[in-house]
């Protein structure tokens, strides 16, 4: 059985994985979904103002220490691709698998700001105008979203090379928003890197909410690639059907 740590992207909390968690637990795995510092409902303004990328990597490392976890699969969505990269680089071999779910896959010295496209950089600036330290969520969307600490989006990551030694590294590319995604170049780069496995899902950015079954199938290794999951629109919601003889394909 595996241990998963699920890390949400900007503005989100552990709740964004609420439909994926039971699918993993039903298969017998241990799952921890995190809400990062500065995004918890009871965090005060000082906490939000001082939280940065290091703070968020430390959130993951503290969980590893507190629960005595090893052989962990780290899953990071969007901004949290930087978080899981920083945590894995510092985790002294306790991470066995990384899954960047439509997420940034940084190189040493990069940041969310430097890796984002111009649309996102403008969104960060406009969203932080009110406080100077927290980026308000974009209009619309889930009301549980919270202002995101600006420092975490600006701080550059420092990688020693340990991140590149994680045995399994995977990238999930969501192709349903190709007119706006900042991850097309990342997909091309990783497809050319034999150290990475790339999956494609025909969803928009929040795949864990739009197609939780498809995301869970990838995490559970029930598919050889994302092409082995048939994703279809039913009643306004994407669902996934496992194909072939993969374990659990009949559920």
Task: Quote the pTM value.
Answer: 0.89
Q: Class of 3-242 per CATH?
A: alpha beta
Which tens digits make up the pLDDT trace of 126-148? Answer: 999 999 999 999 999 999 999 99
With a CB cutoff of 8 Å and minimum separation 6, the contacts of 209 are: 16, 19
Question: Do residues 145 and 12 lie in contact, with contact meaning Cβ atoms separated by under 8 Å?
Answer: yes
Which tens digits make up the pLDDT trace of 184-197? Answer: 999 999 999 999 99
In three-state secondary structure terms, 28 is coil
Which tens digits make up the pLDDT trace of 31-88? Answer: 999 999 999 999 999 999 999 999 999 999 999 999 999 999 999 999 999 999 999 9
Taking the alpha carbons at both ends of the chain, their separation in whole angstroms is 18
Report the relative pairing of strands 134-135 and 237-242 from DSSP bridges.
unpaired
165-195: b or e for each residue (b if 16 or more CB lie within 10 Å)? ebeebbbbbbbbeeeebbbeebbeebeeeee
């Amino acid at each position: 059985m595996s241990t998963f740590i699920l890390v949400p992207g900007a503005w989100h909390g552990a709740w964004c994985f609420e439909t994926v968690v039971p699918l993993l637990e039903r298969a017998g795995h241990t799952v921890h979904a995190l809400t990062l510092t500065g995004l918890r409902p009871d965090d005060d303004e000082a906490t939000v103002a001082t939280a940065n990328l290091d703070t968020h990597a430390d959130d993951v490392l503290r969980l590893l220490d507190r629960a005595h976890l090893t052989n962990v699969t780290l899953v990071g969505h969007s901004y949290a691709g930087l978080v899981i990269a920083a945590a894995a680089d510092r985790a002294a071999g306790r991470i066995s698998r990384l899954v960047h779910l439509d997420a940034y896959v940084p190189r040493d010295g990069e940041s969310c700001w430097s890796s984002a496209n111009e649309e996102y950089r403008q969104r960060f600036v406009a969203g932080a105008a009110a406080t100077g330290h927290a980026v308000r969520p974009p209009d619309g969307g889930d009301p549980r979203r919270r202002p995101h600490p600006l420092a975490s989006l600006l701080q550059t990551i420092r990688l020693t090379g340990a991140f590149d030694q994680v045995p399994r590294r995977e990238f999930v590319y969501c192709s349903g928003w190709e007119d706006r995604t900042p991850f097309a170049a990342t997909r091309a780069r990783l497809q050319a890197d034999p150290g990475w496995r790339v999956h494609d899902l025909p969803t928009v950015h929040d795949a864990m909410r739009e197609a939780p079954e498809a995301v869970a199938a990838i995490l559970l290794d029930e598919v050889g690639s994302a092409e082995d999951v048939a994703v279809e629109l039913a009643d306004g919601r994407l669902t996934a059907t496992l194909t072939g003889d993969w374990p659990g394909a009949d559920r």
